[in-house]
A and B are shown apart, each in its own frame.
Chain A
Amino acid sequence: MSLQSLLIMRHELLLAVAAIFILTAEIFIDPARKKNISLISIVLFAIVTIAGFLPFKLTGTLFGGMYVSSNVSTLMKNILNIGVLIILIQSVTWLKKDENSDRVSEYFILIMSTLIGMDFMISAGHFLMFYIGLELATIPVAALAAFERYKNKSAEAGIKLILISSLSSGVLLYGLSMIYGTTGSLYFFEVSRHFPGFNLQILGFIFFFAGMAFKISIVPFHLWTADVYEGAPVNITSFLSVISKGAAIFILIIILYAIFPSIMETWQKTILVTSILTMTIGNLFAIRQQNIKRFLAFSSISQAGYILVGMVGGNQLGMASVIYYILVYIFSNLGAFGVVTAISNATGKENIDDYNGLYKTNPKLSLIMMLALFSLAGIPPLAGFFGKFFLFTAAAEKGFYFLVLIAVINTIISLYYYLLVVKAMFINKNDDPIVNFRSDFPTRSALLICVAGIFVTGFASIIFELIKGLSFGN
């Protein structure tokens, strides 16, 4: 292996080194100083993130085409790294709790191994590699969801996640086997060359898409989402709703654009129908939620629907807007989850009613929550507005005006329930509000990163132009 191939795989290799380092440190470190593991891990991860950004213009294939590194895949990995870094910083306070203090290193190792899986998945050039990456990305998350295993709900979430993952993997593998049977290869480039789209191939594609739909929680494959999100610890919920979902969307769009352009009309219809269902059902269920985590779960389902709207055109603008929106979504959704985490850590309250009158006691937290929710709803001048605008522009470019109309009507429905939370914080009165508390340094810095991202990502057009320059499509 030459140095060049090491640099091509630097995301995965560095993560693996970091994970092994933490594992070793866990063995040798003095039990009294175990709390330092959080700090060490975050510093290590920050180094990995920065190293990912280093401007090596290295693209190429390894292992005989199993592993492909392109500019887009590097960009996607970097975006995921930013998100994970924010989540790690957000979880420090929660890991300090007594019941978690003996499992700090497990948390970091598990998160890093899922991330390695996602990176391999994004860089896959072969369906087998893709599948290995997908599994590696899924199984540790199930362990993380059950992290608070002494709580019934958390254990239940872990079991549900692992069951649904194996089911969806089965469905996906069945689809892959049909694709293999009709094309004789699992290499992406060969599959794309032998894919005229006869019926069995379409069937294989549908199974593949259904398997991915489970991971992204697209309606009608979303039923696990709310329960798992509610049961899992808040940080894992935010990881599931942002990073897992983002990685699955990244690989889905790469596969759709690169492997299945020959059956574009078919997958456009599939995405058209599922995106309408996803947006509408996600929104309608979100209105009725009382628990803020379930609420954000359904909101994230509908967000996946908007992202599908951007994908539908199969155009370059579509890929750019999807990647850009994931970046925006990372900052916005993690901003909202950051506030939920802070409040949950300080008081243990997780209902929307508990947020009544929050502005009087914790003005800064409620302002951040409002900004994050408005960004999710797509209100200018926040980043979410630009993100949604580009998604809809991408669909309109290919003439999907009807879909855009349904999508914008859905954003109004979503605005309604986001405003319900804003109303709770700013307008509703409460005899027993959440008391004023000052969050610690990690929480505050994570929230600051999110707020900065919410403002800067939109205004700084260079970010979008950069992403647009790297994207492909017709």
Chain B
Amino acid sequence: MNILTFFVVIPVLTITGIILVKDIKRVKLVASIGMGLQLLLAALLVVLYIMQRRAGNTEEMLFIRDFVWFKSLNIHFALGVDGISVAMIALTSVVVFAGVFASWEMAFLTKEFFVSLILLATGVFGFFISIDLFTMFLFYELAVIPMYLLIGVWGSGPKEYSAMKLTLMLMGASAILLVGILGIYFHSAPDGEPFTFNILSISNYIIPIQAQRVFFPMTFVGFGVLGALFPFHTWSPDGHSSAPTAVSMLHAGVLMKLGGYGAFRVAIFLMPEAAKEMSWIFIILTSISVIYGAFGAMVQKDLKYINAYSSVSHCGLVLFAILMMNKTAMTGAVLQMISHGLMTALFFALIGMIYGRTHTRLINEMGGLMKIIPFLSVCYVIAGLASLGLPGLSGFVAEMTIFVGAFQHPDLFHRITTIIAITSIVITAVYILRVIAILLLGPSRDNQYEHMNDAKWYEKISTVTLIACVAAIGLAPFWLSSMIGTSMQPVIDKILAVNPF
């Protein structure tokens, strides 16, 4: 059995296990063991992948496995990974693992909660290991639909509204995406040869430019909505702030990355000519995302809203970098996905833990938490510093790479938009430091908060795992960026072959 199939099999077995066991303690135990195994498996995959590359295996995708599914339509269940998907899988397993421990105190319909959570994770893992557009799309929708119940049943605030808005916007995006995928399929081979959904086969063929002009925007917008592309980002703040902790973590940390990854792997990789022609539209939109998200975060008072808008800004940066279409910037985009995934998951985990103690998320009502819950506060500071791009943490590596790459374009348009995007660093610093100042260091506002306990063991597992990864990427970024960069090369070759610039 191929190692990649386990990434779908383990979550499915975990779900079965959760359904079978009776009491809440065992549910949590099964969930944590399953996701722990998944984390180990991801670590094993990274090691195996690097060993294969060291051994001189230069194929585009490794661990390829191909099962024929619907023969007459040439639909396969095809698996395969390159450096980029390996990195995304590792990110997902870390975030899911941390998410299980962050929802340890979930007491209402616990079993159903973990089933939906891990179902969501199954979709995400399946998406990253697929190299067939049909299965990719299937897993994409599978990842979106449990969100409705997760937010609607276990959320807070205007949860029903947010859940419906999020589900409909994301499913609407996937509907447009479906048209794009069908368009790609029916232009995926020269006349007379069977059409295919396989990404690698399609990438060897140049889709006619007229078709690309129609289907590139559909595919890009379809994935872009999930990556919070302006003006389709409005689901994100509402959804994230209403969702329960682990769901916010998974959603901002991983699910939004599906958008960036898909936009890169499907839209740009398969249709580079149209991407080149139309990138200016989307560069403008993503620049707006970056700045608008950052300004939005500055004026919010609710911790989750601050972080949700910050996610819009950071994910906008991912799409922005992908549209720059050169190796440095696109490598930076993947690094940014990983880095943002980890730190935003950390943020949401911490916000959930603080909310569990203070029962408010408004920063004006809290203060001086550093003295009361020092462990969580220090973690919050670390997450904040990673978010504003302090050297030594992951955020710096990613943003630096992106801006260096983006600035390689000699023309005025790209330079100006890059400078505009860079200003977001300053705005990010403002809102992060403002929160730290008021929330953690400011005077305590309410006596009732003075008897709170610091982090429990499961909360420590959750946060320490994430911080360790953030710091590891910040301190030793080169193994990761070279792994991504090597896999980026074939994509860049394809783009350069059709668009020399």
A interface vs B, CB < 8 Å?
A: 317, 320, 374, 379-381, 385, 389-390, 392-393, 396-397, 401, 404-405, 408-409, 411-412, 415-416, 419, 422-423, 426-427, 461, 464-465, 468
Q: Quick check: B176 and A419 within 8 Å, CB to CB?
A: no
Residue B384 lies at the interface, judged by CB distance under 8 Å to chain A: no
Contacts known (A401-B214, A426-B152); A419 close to B186, Cβ less than 8 A = no
- Answer yes or no: B168 CB below 8 A from chain A CBs: yes
Contact partners of A320 in chain B: CB under 8 A: 72
On whether the beta carbons of B182 and A412 are closer than 8 Å, the reply is no
B70 at the interface (CB under 8 A from A): yes
Cβ-defined contact, A380 with B138, below 8 A: yes
Select B145's contact among A317, A379, A411, A427, beta carbons within 8 Å. Answer: A379
Once the chains bind, are A415 and B72 in contact (CB under 8 Å)? no
Known: A401-B179, A401-B182. 8 other contacts (CB 8 A): A380-B139, A389-B134, A393-B182, A396-B185, A415-B168, A416-B168, A422-B149, A423-B164
- How far does the alpha carbon of A409 sit from the alpha carbon of B172 in the complex, in Å? 7
- Tell me which of B141, B159, B183 contacts A385 (CB under 8 A): B141
A374 with B145: CB separation less than 8 A: yes
Interface residues of B in 166-212 (CB under 8 A from A): 167-168, 171-172, 175-176, 178-179, 182-183, 185-186
28 A-B residue contacts at CB 8 Å? A379-B142, A380-B142, A385-B138, A385-B141, A389-B134, A389-B178, A392-B178, A396-B182, A396-B185, A401-B182, A401-B183, A404-B179, A408-B178, A408-B179, A409-B175, A412-B171, A419-B148, A419-B164, A422-B149, A423-B160, A423-B164, A426-B153, A461-B70, A461-B71, A461-B75, A464-B70, A464-B72, A468-B72
B69 within 8 A of A: yes
Whole-angstrom distance between the alpha carbons of A124 and B167 in the complex? Answer: 46
Distance in angstroms between the alpha carbons of A434 and B214 in the assembled complex = 50
Residue B9 lies at the interface, judged by CB distance under 8 Å to chain A: no
With a cutoff of 8 Å between Cβ atoms, the chain B residues found around residue A401 in the complex are 179, 182-183, 214
In the assembled complex, which residues on chain A have CB atoms less than 8 Å from the CB atom of B142? 379-381
- Min CB gap B81→A, angstroms: 22
Closest-CB distance, A451 to chain B (whole angstroms): 15
A411 touches B175 (CB 8 A): yes
- Complex interface: chain B residues within 8 A of A419 (CB): 148, 164, 167
Bound form: Cα–Cα A380–B136 in Å: 11
Contacts of A392 in B (CB 8 A): 178-179, 182
Beta-carbon contacts of B129-143 to A below 8 Å, as 1s and 0s? 000001000110110
| Minimal Cβ-Cβ distance residue in B for A468 | B72
A contact residues around B164 at 8 Å (CB): 416, 419, 423
Pick from B73, B141, B172, B179: contact of A380, CB below 8 A.
B141
Q: Which secondary structure characterizes the binding site on chain A?
A: helix
B182 contact set on A, CB distance < 8 A: 392-393, 396, 401, 404
- Is the beta-carbon distance between B172 and A412 smaller than 8 angstroms? yes
Tell me, rounded to whole Å, the shortest Cβ–Cβ distance linking A324 to chain B: 11
Contact with A along B305-345 (1 / 0, CB 8 A): 00000000000000000000000000000000000000000
Please state if B179 and A405 are interface contacts (CB–CB under 8 Å): yes
Task: Note all chain A residues with C-beta closer than 8 A to B153.
Answer: 426-427
Write the chain B residue with the least CB distance to A388. Answer: B178
Q: How far is the CA of A413 from the CA of B172 in the complex (A)?
A: 9
- B contact residues vs A (CB 8 Å cutoff): 69-73, 75, 134, 138-139, 141-142, 145, 148-149, 152-153, 159-160, 164, 167-168, 171-172, 175-176, 178-179, 182-183, 185-186, 214
B113 CB to nearest chain A CB (Å): 12
Nearest 6 pairs of A and B residues by beta carbon? A408-B175, A396-B182, A380-B138, A461-B70, A412-B172, A427-B152
> What residues of B have a CB within 8 angstroms of the CB of A380 in the complex?
138-139, 141-142
Q: B178: nearest residue on chain A (CB-CB)?
A: A408
In angstroms, Cα B186 to Cα A397, docked, is 7
Residues of A within 8 A of B186 (CB): 396-397
* A428 to B, closest residue via Cβ: B160
Bound-state Cα–Cα, A426 to B182, Å? 34
Are A381 and B183 in contact, with the CB atoms below 8 A? no
Q: Which residues of A contact B134 (CB under 8 A)?
A: 389
Pick the most buried of B134, B175, B183: most chain A CB atoms within 10 A of its CB: B175
In this complex, what residue of B is CB-closest to A390?
Answer: B73
Closest to B169 in A: A412
Residues of B within 8 A of A381 (CB): 138, 142
In angstroms, how far is the closest chain A Cβ from the Cβ of B29? 22
| Minimal beta-carbon separation of A468 from chain B (angstroms) | 5
- CB <8 Å contact, A465 and B138: no
Q: How far is the CA of A409 from the CA of B175 in the complex (A)?
A: 7
**In the complex, what distance in Å separates the CA atom of A127 from the CA atom of B122?**
52
Q: Complex: how many Å from CA A183 to CA B82?
A: 63
For the complex, what is the distance from the CA of A317 to the CA of B70, rounded to whole Å?
12
Taking CB as reference atom, which chain B residue is nearest A413? B168
Q: A396 to B168, alpha carbons, bound, how many Å?
A: 23
Contact A415 B160 (CB under 8 A): no
Kindly provide the distance from the CB of B114 to the nearest chain A CB, expressed in whole angstroms: 16
Closest residue of chain A to B154 (Cβ to Cβ) is: A427
Contacts of B75 in A (CB 8 A): 461
B residues in contact with A468, CB < 8 Å: 72
Q: CB-CB < 8 A to B178: which residues of A? A: 389, 392, 404, 408
Q: Which of A385, A405, A415 contacts B167 (CB 8 A)?
A: A415
Distance in angstroms from A398 CB to nearest chain B CB is 9
Cα A380 to Cα B127 in complex, Å, equals: 13
| CA gap between A187 and B226 in the complex, in Å | 55
**CB-based contact A412/B138 at 8 Å:** no
Chain A residues in 8 Å Cβ range of B168: 412, 415-416
* Chain A CB within 10 A, most for which of B71, B72, B183, B185: B72
Q: Which residues of B contact A396 (CB under 8 A)?
A: 179, 182-183, 185-186
Contacting residues, chain B, for A464 (C-beta < 8 A): 70, 72
The complex places the Cα of A397 from the Cα of B149 at a distance, in Å, of 35
Cα A374 to Cα B160 in complex, Å, equals 18
Provide the residues of chain A in CB contact with B175, threshold 8 Å: 408-409, 411-412
How far is the CB of B140 from the nearest CB of chain A, in Å?
A: 9
The residues of B that contact A317 with a CB separation of less than 8 Å are 72-73
**A405-B180 Cα distance, complex, nearest whole Å:** 9
Q: Which residues of A contact B179 (CB under 8 A)?
A: 392, 396, 401, 404-405, 408
Q: Which of A320, A385, A393, A465 is packed against the most chain B CB atoms within 10 Å?
A: A393
Closest CB in chain A relative to B186 CB, distance in Å = 6
Nearest residue, chain A, Cβ from B138: A380
Chain B residue contacts of A404, Cβ below 8 A: 178-179, 182
Chain A: minimal CB distance from B210 (Å) = 12
Complex alpha-carbon distance, A468 and B175, angstroms? 25
